[in-house]
Structure 1
Amino acid sequence: MSTSASVGGPIPQPPPGQAAALPPGSTARALHVELPSQQRRLRHLRNVAARNIVNRNGHQLLDTYFTLHLCDTGRPCKEFYRSEVIKNSLNPTWRSLDFGIMPDRLDTSVSCFVVKIWGGKEDVYQLLIEWKVCLDGLKYLGQQVIFRLVAGGSLL
């Protein structure tokens, strides 16, 4: 099972002078620029998706939704968002988040929160996945990731 969360927002511009350093006639390629810490916040979360959910309750497919929670140490997590229900899927992708409809007092500058994915049928749901997300821990891996082809044509 895998889950994913997209973080978006304005794309930072590369430092001045880098474009001029390209040799004449070369193809320009977008360079990665580290996200400033203020761009790794809850308000930059765009959507949530889950893939290959393991279904242990006997149904072929599940109805699923997710909830978002703010956590304070030593206190239970407080739910502040509940998604729509996706029917009959083990690979749900929920609608994009709209922070304009969130509670006014919600602090969207936090960098840690909890995603809980719930699954079931006919209004009987159980917690399937609980995932604590710390956006401060995001690191760019693009140039460090090495793929190799393994038997069966899979990438590793």
Structure 2
Amino acid sequence: MSRPPVNPAGPAPEPDPAESGFPAGTGADKFAPGPDAERPRGIVVIALIVAAEATALLVAAAWYGYELLTGAPVLSLGGAIFTLGLLLAFSAWLYSVALFLFRGRRWTRAAALVAQLFVLTIAFPTLTGGVVLAGLAMLVPAVAALVLLFDKRVISYASRTGDMPPAL
């Protein structure tokens, strides 16, 4: 189908809904939900998993900081403080990923995917090292989040663009 020529100096033409490529009422709009779209359960589950991982990192950071303050021997105090800072920063990053994933931001799917891959790289050696309960506690939620990240409803909800308020 050809279109008439458009003068670039003139006003932009109004979009014709009939030319969207989808017949009206076919449900094609469900792939580009608006800001009031219903939040899929998968988003809620992934956000809870990521928030739980962030909480676990925060608890680990608190325990690590307590050990530093009570005089646990370390080879390098600077390295130990840097490690504590990394634990706190990664925890804050995971909390923000969970929050903005819950809100449906695009960038959070990739961030959650990377976080789950990091968890898997720790879960498998933990399992093979004989600490089965801790390994399963890391492996099962990470696999569940990975599967849900590729659900079409989650992808659709977290791929919205346009009418969203600024992140910060």
Structure-2-length-normalised TM-score? 0.20
Higher helix share: 2
Structure with the greater alpha carbon radius of gyration: 2
Highest RCO, 1 vs 2 (Cα 8 Å, sep ≥ 6): 2
Higher strand share: 1
Structure-1-length-normalised TM-score? 0.21
